[in-house]
Amino acid sequence: MLAAAFVLSGLVGLSIQQSTPLPSVVVKNGTYHGLHQTTYNQDLFLGIPYAQPPVGNLRFQLAQALNTSWSQPRDAKVYSPECFGYGSDQVGHNISEDCLALNIVRPAGHEGELLPVGVWIHGGGFLMGGTSDQRYNLSFIVQKSVEMGKPIIGVSIAYRLSFWGFSDSEEVRKAGVTNLGLHDQRKALQWIQENVGSFGGDSSKVTIWGQSAGAGSVGTHLIAYGGRDDGLFRGAICQSGNSILPLSPNYNVSDGQLAYNNIASIVGCRNTSDTLKCLREVDTKTLNSAINATFRLFPPVRDGTLIQDSIYDQLQNGAFIKVPLISGTNTDEGTGFGPRGISSDTAFAHYLSSKSTKASLNESILAALLAVYPNLPAASDVLYNIPLNFTQFNTTPAVPAPYNTPDTLSNTTYGSQWRRLVAFSGDFEFAGPRRLQCQSWSRHNVSAYCYRFNAVPSGYPPEIGSAHFDEVAFVFNNLDGLGYAINPFQDQPQSYTDLSDLMTRMWVSFIHDGSPNQHGVLDYEEWPIYDIQQNGGVGKDYFFTSTPKSSIETDDWRIAGINYLNSLWKTVYGM
């Protein structure tokens, strides 16, 4: 059993102490025994339930607080199974409905201290992912915090995914059980407030932190309940995610109702008097197969309670929890989103219209978007790592490409307007909402530290560039590439390792001190608070790159396109 735990928990290559005494903590419900990891002198407490198992009558219900206690110590030595999900992140992991658990990594030898806490919320499109993913190994960043003299505790939390955690229909809304995965996260944060002190954590110094859907979750907690502060965290980190786009543009409950009815029909619940009750009684395997057959995403929804109003209005009006924020995106976010094969203005215009799911864009808006996202923009507006002249259809002279990428690629399946497409897609999904969020923090005098990440890991073709997820290995200081098919740092220069060291230290500094600037590395510019009051309405970003060196940049790239996009969130996209 213990050997299996090494693989599932991402502890490959780390030494685990098997002799007694092992670390022990007493929480409100009883005592847990953990593991001691000798490589970094850390105590690990894995697979700790923070809520009752969401099974049987508790399926499709809000997570319920634990209601049992025990007198004999329980083991917390193995990661819990991952929640049911549908994608590559679930491959090779144990899966179960009984998955609402968290994991704690603390540095040993800090008895009597209360350490700041970083709570990691994984991404995966609210469709897949989990805490046992080796790419999210918290040991490295916790070790870095100790080396810095700023020790922190790392926590990772699991939450229900896909239809299990984000079903939507009239029945679901009437029962008040929308956005269950987000409520799971809040239940975990409440458990942390009540119990993290037993592990040596400071419940008043919790930072929530996520990437992609995890960052979208963080963004949602910042605006939840109209911006009500329940005292669950004092800081937030959003890596390639934001408050605007956990939701789907122009979503309507009828969209979710179709999927709900389809799943209910497959499992024989469609014509029952209480479909939710029936779905709770379906055996897990049957329901899982039905959900898997839907081939669709189940995003969070505006339900009038957790997510109440126009998110755009909330950000504009300051209806958000006013805590310090790190928020950023990667240069080439769009290469992982949007279709390939677009090679004409007509095809690109059709793609733009498809982003407005309920109503086609009117001619003036469509024309404006085509103008602010032209094909092959001027070199000064490019901001890509992928070559300008990347297909045989394109004869425009190339902008010099970073990282020695070629000026011409033979692969034409991307379409001749690939760079135009990924500019819009990346700005729509990530860069635009990120800029809007940073501007909102500045407008309401709250500290925000914003960034652009611009390193291309090993194993990527040049047309993909510095894409979605690429910063994760750098932030986690995962220099051995645990969990990656190709180590992101393989055959890369020392500057890549140095960049990871800087970013990890800045994240630790933010979690520990509320500012990223106490990182202890010399000869780097101070990361400025994003300020639109003194810089002509334009803030400053930290530009993380390996060549030549990370520095400060003005956040005005693709300003015409992003400004116009950000003006459409409420009126066109229903946000």
Is residue 385 a part of any domain in this protein?
A: yes
Same domain, 305 and 404: no
Is residue 454 a part of any domain in this protein?
A: yes
Same domain, 318 and 177: yes
Q: Closest Cα to residue 555, out of 441, 390, 421, 470?
A: 441
Number of Cβ atoms within 10 Å of the Cβ of 50: 23
CATH number at residue 380: 3.40.50.1820
**Where among 323, 355, 388 does a domain terminate?**
323
Segment 375-383 long-range contacts (CB within 8 Å, at least 24 positions apart): 375/345, 375/348, 375/417, 375/420, 376/419, 376/420, 377/420, 377/423, 377/558, 381/557, 381/558, 382/419, 383/331, 383/557, 383/558
Same domain, 438 and 494: yes
**Structural domain that includes position 393:** 328-520+529-566
Same domain, 333 and 314: no
For 484, the token pair is: 């990656």
Number of Cβ atoms within 10 Å of the Cβ of 389: 19
Please check whether residue 27 is in contact with residue 104, taking contact to mean a CB–CB distance below 8 angstroms: no
Place of tokens 């179960």: 96
Q: Output the CA–CA distances (angstroms, integers) from residue 135 to 94, 120, 196, in the order listed.
A: 17, 12, 24
Is residue 64 a part of any domain in this protein?
A: no
Dihedral over Cα of 231, 228, 256, 295: its sign:
negative
Q: How does DSSP assign 174-243, residue by residue?
A: HHT--SHHHHHHHHHHHHHHHHGGGGTEEEEEEEEEEETHHHHHHHHHHHGGGT---SS-SEEEEES--S
Predicted confidence at residue 23, as pLDDT, reads 97
Same domain, 315 and 368: no
Q: Output the CA–CA distances (angstroms, integers) from residue 480 to 146, 327, 483, in the order listed.
A: 19, 26, 9
Same domain, 18 and 166: yes
Please check whether residue 521 is in contact with residue 147, taking contact to mean a CB–CB distance below 8 angstroms: no
- CB proximity list for 570: less than 8 A, separation 6 or greater: 310, 312, 313
Is residue 436 a part of any domain in this protein?
A: yes
Is residue 283 a part of any domain in this protein?
A: no
**Hey, which residues are catalytic here?**
212, 333
**Where among 261, 289, 323 does a domain terminate?**
323
Same domain, 228 and 374: no
CA distance 227 to 195: 25
Is residue 284 a part of any domain in this protein?
A: no
For 41, the token pair is: 């002198």
Is residue 214 a part of any domain in this protein?
A: yes
Same domain, 307 and 394: no
Same domain, 239 and 342: no
Same domain, 37 and 157: yes
Predicted confidence at residue 431, as pLDDT, reads 97
Same domain, 425 and 513: yes
Please check whether residue 42 is in contact with residue 36, taking contact to mean a CB–CB distance below 8 angstroms: yes
Total domains in the chain come to: 2
Q: Closest Cα to residue 207, out of 475, 455, 469?
A: 475
pLDDT string in tens for the chain (575-residue length)? 233 333 344 555 566 766 568 999 999 999 999 999 999 999 999 999 999 999 999 999 999 999 999 999 999 999 999 999 998 888 888 999 999 999 999 999 999 999 999 999 999 999 999 999 999 999 999 999 999 999 999 999 999 999 999 999 999 999 999 999 999 999 999 999 999 999 999 999 999 999 999 999 999 999 999 999 999 999 999 999 999 988 888 888 998 999 999 999 999 999 999 999 999 999 999 999 999 998 889 999 999 999 998 999 999 999 999 999 999 999 999 999 988 999 999 999 999 988 775 666 899 999 999 999 998 644 445 455 655 444 332 333 222 222 222 334 434 688 888 889 999 999 999 999 999 999 999 999 999 999 999 999 998 887 899 999 999 999 999 999 999 999 999 999 999 999 999 999 999 999 999 999 999 999 999 999 999 998 888 999 999 999 889 999 999 999 999 999 999 999 999 99
Is residue 359 a part of any domain in this protein?
A: yes
Mapped onto helix, strand or coil, the DSSP state of residue 477 is coil
CA distance 517 to 521: 9
Same domain, 317 and 384: no
CA distance 110 to 41: 11
